[in-house]
Chain A
Amino acid sequence: MAVADVKISGAEALVARHPAPASAAKWANEARDGAMARLRAMGAPMRRDEYWRFTNPAILNADAPRHATALVTDETPVFDGFDALRIVFVDGVFDAAQSSDLSGEPHLSVEHLTDALATDIHWAKDVFGVLEAAGQTPVDRPFAALNTAVAQSGVVIRATGPVSRPVNLRYLHVAEDADAVIHHVIKVDDSATLTILENGPAAARFNKAMEIMVGDGAEFHHVRAQGRDHDRQCVSHMFARVGKEALYKSFTLTVNGVLTRNEHVIDMQGDDASAHVAGACVGEGDFHHDDTVFVTHDAERCESRQVFKKVLKSGAVGVFQGKILVKEGAQKTDGYQISQGLLLDDDAQFLAKPELEIYADDVACSHGSTCGAADETALFYLLSRGIPRAQAENMLVLAFLGEAMDEIADDDLAEEMRGRVAGWLERHSK
């Protein structure tokens, strides 16, 4: 079979493994049909696609997930210490019993995806499948199209003002062959603020998409901890459209998982907006972690930052594909991108593809990528003060990840993330 045929039959296989969603409102059916058509046209991703050069999509294309045992731990779940509204999914299915009562929270409305999609007139019409579709240019993102086409789980959230409590989307994993698809639609109205926290592995294999419309002067904060199940597989997409003077901030912590591909597609459409995307990951052994980021500057005086740090050990692989596209007319753009790999032994790999594409003449864009071992001089300094080697190394690892953690605006949330990494390091340095 020719390459194109393989991609097309691969897309059919992706479609076939998920039940077709029940018919919804006309606009929603059209959005799903549109996504299905996109997927069929672009085909399934393949290793030889430039966008998948560093990450083999086979495990995500496979008919069934690789079995993944849910991690048993007596640790407090991430974000438990925060007064948050909880929305719980078990193996990708909403669990009302474990979720908070979401009615009555000021400035916030939350609906189930299927309910919203069944409503004839709904604001989600302008977001659902719309940002995802826009994010398919110039690069295909077939798993996101698949997600829009088949997802039957997720929430539709709208913030109409400052929402004081964070919304915590918690993804529990039970069945070792669970294959979850979740799609969230979020709208932060002009001048409103919303914080979304996500944690947990969700399933053996997890395909998550989130579309976020950030209105003028609005703020959206996102902090995510991706669950520690060792054999977990995940592909996630965040599609954001950021309005005038708005702020979009996202941080992701990843520990463990055989395959994680986190894609971020950010479109800065209003002047003077900011978008910060950061990620920290620590992995050992059979661990492959890919951050693929695409930030488009399509307005004046916008600022964007990408800060990604990966700590890798014993066969672990880290990938970063990050792009800043500055469109014509996006003058005074301030774009920054840094990706760094810390290799704790000779057996780890960090692969980076930083890209800048600039069509405006008055911009400041910088990018850097480094990869190396721990700083011997710093290590000796710590040892010479009596700090045992394992502890000293952990301190340097935490310090290395610090720049990414610093991107979290809320100090308590940043501390929560630091604590989780410190815990992982302690367990792994024994």
Chain B
Amino acid sequence: MLSIKNLHVKLEEEDKQILKGVNLEIGAGEVHAIMGPNGSGKSTLSYVLSGKDGYEVTDGEATLLGDDILDMEPEERAAAGVFLAFQYPVEIPGVGNMTFLRTAVNAQRKARGEEELSAGEFLKVVREKAKSLKIDADMLKRPVNVGFSGGEKKRNEILQMAMLEPKMCILDETDSGLDVDAMKLVAEGVNALRDAGRSFLVITHYQRLLDHIKPDVVHIMADGKIIKTGGPELALEVENNGYADILGEVA
């Protein structure tokens, strides 16, 4: 599904290398987790994959189902199937959540040459998906993320994911700022979307989220590289011993 080879990325504004040769192969239907200490480049990886400004790819490649995504505009990547669940979902006063969702769904359908959903069809689908995420009508009516609690914002991210049905979902610290119940709800939303044709890259600091979203593969990232890859037990090791052991072991 997603193939990252030798990806080198620096900040555009300053001469600071963030990613220093990331290699990652995520197969269809797989869930991969990336853990790592602060400043290791995890969030940068998610931004670079989704096309945020401010980063310059100096070497390497990233392909989604064989297509080079690094050359695409952010909206083209989205239409191709990339989805980033933001660590800090953005508040957009004045844009209704429902309008936003419908515009996004139909823009992607249009980009893929599919028929746009009518208002009625859309409403039916969104209501059903919102219900399972405990998102009420009021949250759908309000401006995007404005006045949402931390948990509501994250659930709203998962709702967008559910509506857009992406192929490659990147979750950037989706567990941050969530209490246990909210995290469970979010995890259930993600698990409901697990599918043979959909892959996940879950970026997190904690094992906790991975108790609920069970990964197939766990990577440890440090200083812009993936330094260790293993099964779910690797996350447990981090939880118990911290990163120091692994970092020491690699060094």
Residues of A within 8 A of B (CB): 376-378, 380-389, 391-392, 395-396, 398-403
Residues of B within 8 A of A (CB): 50-53, 73-75, 77-79, 83-84, 86, 89-95, 99-100, 103-104, 107-108, 111, 143-144, 160, 164
On chain A, the residues within 8 Å of B143 by CB distance are: 399
B75 and A383 contacting across the interface, CB-CB below 8 Å? yes
A391-B73 Cα distance, complex, nearest whole Å: 14
Q: Looking at the complex, which one of A380, A399, A403 makes contact with B95 (CB distance below 8 Å)?
A: A399
B90 and A391 contacting across the interface, CB-CB below 8 Å? no
A386 and B78 contacting across the interface, CB-CB below 8 Å? yes
> B15 → chain A, closest Cβ, in Å?
22
A384 and B84 contacting across the interface, CB-CB below 8 Å? yes
- Further 18 A-B residue pairs, CB within 8 A, beyond A386-B107, A387-B75, A399-B94: A377-B90, A381-B89, A382-B100, A383-B74, A384-B51, A384-B52, A384-B74, A384-B78, A385-B78, A385-B104, A386-B104, A387-B103, A392-B75, A395-B99, A396-B92, A398-B94, A399-B92, A403-B94
B90 and A400 contacting across the interface, CB-CB below 8 Å? no
List the count of A-B residue pairs having beta carbons below 8 Å apart.
76
A387 and B107 contacting across the interface, CB-CB below 8 Å? yes
**Which residue of chain A is the closest to B93 with respect to CB atoms?**
A399
B164 and A386 contacting across the interface, CB-CB below 8 Å? yes
> A422 → chain B, closest Cβ, in Å?
11
On chain A, the residues within 8 Å of B50 by CB distance are: 384
> B198 → chain A, closest Cβ, in Å?
16
On chain B, the residues within 8 Å of A392 by CB distance are: 75
A384-B89 Cα distance, complex, nearest whole Å: 12
**Which residue of chain B is the closest to A401 with respect to CB atoms?**
B94
**Which residue of chain B is the closest to A387 with respect to CB atoms?**
B107
**Which residue of chain B is the closest to A402 with respect to CB atoms?**
B94
On chain A, the residues within 8 Å of B78 by CB distance are: 383-386
B75 and A402 contacting across the interface, CB-CB below 8 Å? no
Q: Looking at the complex, which one of B53, B89, B92, B111 makes contact with A386 (CB distance below 8 Å)?
A: B111
B79 and A386 contacting across the interface, CB-CB below 8 Å? yes
Can you offer 23 A-B residue contacts whose CB atoms are under 8 A? A377-B90, A380-B53, A381-B92, A382-B92, A382-B100, A382-B104, A383-B74, A384-B52, A384-B77, A384-B83, A385-B104, A385-B160, A389-B73, A391-B103, A391-B107, A392-B75, A395-B99, A395-B103, A396-B92, A396-B95, A399-B93, A400-B94, A401-B94
> B140 → chain A, closest Cβ, in Å?
15
On chain B, the residues within 8 Å of A400 by CB distance are: 94
Q: Looking at the complex, which one of B52, B91, B104, B160 makes contact with A380 (CB distance below 8 Å)?
A: B52
